[in-house]
């Protein structure tokens, strides 16, 4: 999609039978009423504001514009003005008292850099590339799986895919996406993985997994920590106010219940069904990481679901070093949860990660600028990444190690 800032986009509205279109507008909020995308993936049409009507048509300025991002907190404030309050709370909050959400950010301050001077490093020649599961990437920043991109932009994951491809970023698509995996794959010119929430219906899970393989996704990200995903106290007080959007990967727009009694047999099921490498996402204990590799995991994603799963768990950056120590380089490690700057990325790489994944910052970019906003976030992350590596005194991110940081 190559829309100008004033192009019009439409979306087919689909919602539960017991919720009226007026309800959808009210729940979305006056600041940002998102047109929901149908499960069949219909997503292009006119967006036009008709205040006070039930047409569900709204005008969105800056649907696709290049953003020069300087700070994710400032970008979040810009995006906040476009969300309704309930949607903003859903996107930005963690679970419960949100201790883990705050800890994910605070814990980066436990580590400080030890700059290595006079190493003759040429900034323009710094190598930020990384190879993951046989795929060489220009930089180590991955789009983490994040559901319902239609809450942020009428084109949903299609705009995210286009923005990610501009920077060469690896795209991970959630099985809870608003657009179908096939539509997203067609829009993505870059490498892509598919994230899977297994459902209680094994036949349905198998069908979705085979579709992902046939659509060209090169690996499956198996999320193991969303077995009772929580909401913040504020979100519950508001009465679960975000608009309901159908999931584009399921015929009815709504899957059977997600499976919660997960075992390592499920990892083997995914691998046997698709023949693709499987990344286990949601690991915060060294012994779980080791067990995952023994069960066939091709990579580990250290994550606490961005503070959205169990409140009171440690920050991802806190548990990363011990997991890296336990795995001893047997498989690649990806880390997410709390990353907002290129300096965070370098700390994660120095402490044992091979790559990092980001979610909320990209959603704020998607809201503010569409594909151009997603690319703007990636450019910001990589700009800071290169500057920090330069100060570290190495010419490649592969040379970063624990000697480049220390406990504060």
Report the binding-site residues for glyoxylate.
Answer: 197, 305, 308
Annotated binding-site positions: 145-147, 174, 195, 197, 223, 281, 303, 305, 308, 336-340, 359-360
Closest by CA position to 245, among listed 151, 357, 172, 167: 151
Helix axes 72-80, 371-392, angle to 10 degrees: 160
- How would you class 154 by CB atoms within 10 Å of its CB: exposed for 0-12, middle for 13-18, buried for 19 or more? buried
The span from the CA of 37 to the CA of 45, in Å, is 11
The active-site residue out of 93, 149, 305, 404 is: 305
The span from the CA of 170 to the CA of 164, in Å, is 7
H or E element that contains 183: helix 181-187
Q: Which DSSP string do the residues of 279-342 spell out, in sequence order?
A: EEEEE-SHHHHHHHHHTT-SEEEE--GGGTSSTTPPPHHHHHHHHHHHHTTSS-EEE-SS--SH
Annotated binding-site positions for FMN: 145-147, 174, 195, 223, 281, 303, 336-340, 359-360
The span from the CA of 188 to the CA of 212, in Å, is 14
| β 141-143/135-137 pair status | unpaired
Per DSSP, helices labelled H in 3-140 are: 21-28, 72-80, 85-92, 99-106
The span from the CA of 14 to the CA of 245, in Å, is 7
HSE (side-chain half, CA atoms, 13 Å) at 46: 4
Contact status, residue 325 vs residue 352, Cβ threshold 8 Å: yes
305 catalytic residue (yes or no): yes
Contact status, residue 302 vs residue 283, Cβ threshold 8 Å: yes
Catalytic positions are: 305
């Amino acid at each position: 999609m190559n829309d100008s800032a004033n192009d019009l986009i439409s979306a087919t509205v689909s919602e539960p039978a017991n919720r009226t279109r007026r309800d959808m507008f009210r729940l979305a909020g006056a600041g940002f009423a998102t047109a929901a995308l149908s499960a069949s993936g219909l997503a292009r049409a006119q967006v036009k504001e008709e205040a006070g009507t039930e047409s569900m048509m709204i005008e969105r300025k800056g649907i696709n514009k290049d953003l020069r991002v300087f700070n994710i907190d400032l970008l979040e404030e810009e995006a906040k003005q476009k969300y309704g309050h309930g949607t903003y709370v859903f996107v930005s909050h963690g679970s419960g008292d949100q201790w883990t959400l705050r800890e994910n950010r605070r814990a980066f301050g436990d580590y400080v850099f030890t700059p290595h001077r006079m190493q003759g490093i040429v900034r323009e020649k710094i190598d930020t590339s990384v190879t993951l599961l046989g795929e060489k990437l220009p930089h180590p920043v991955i789009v983490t799986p994040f559901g319902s991109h239609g809450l942020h932009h009428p084109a949903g994951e299609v705009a995210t895919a286009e923005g990610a491809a501009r920077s060469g970023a690896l795209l991970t698509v959630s099985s809870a996406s608003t657009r179908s995996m096939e539509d997203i794959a067609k829009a993505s010119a870059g490498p892509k993985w598919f994230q899977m929430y297994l459902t209680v219906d094994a036949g349905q899970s198998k069908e979705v997994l085979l579709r992902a393989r046939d659509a060209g996704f090169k690996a499956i990200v198996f999320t193991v920590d969303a077995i009772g995903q929580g909401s913040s106290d504020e979100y519950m007080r508001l009465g679960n106010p975000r608009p309901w959007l159908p999931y584009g990967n399921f015929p009815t727009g709504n899957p059977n219940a997600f499976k919660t009694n997960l075992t390592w047999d499920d990892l083997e099921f995914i691998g046997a069904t698709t023949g693709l490498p499987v990344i286990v996402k949601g690991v915060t204990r060294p012994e779980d990481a080791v067990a995952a590799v023994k069960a066939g995991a091709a990579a580990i994603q250290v994550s606490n679901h961005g503070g959205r799963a169990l409140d009171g768990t440690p920050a991802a950056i806190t548990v990363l070093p011990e997991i890296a120590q336990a795995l001893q380089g047997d498989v690649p490690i990806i880390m997410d949860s709390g990353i907002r700057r290129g300096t965070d990325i370098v700390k994660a790489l120095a402490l044992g990660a091979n790559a990092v994944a980001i979610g909320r910052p990209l959603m704020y970019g998607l809201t503010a600028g569409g594909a151009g906003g997603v690319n703007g976030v990636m450019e910001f992350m990589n700009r800071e990444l290169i500057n920090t590596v330069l100060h570290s005194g190495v010419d490649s991110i592969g040379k970063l190690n624990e000697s480049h940081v220390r406990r504060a």
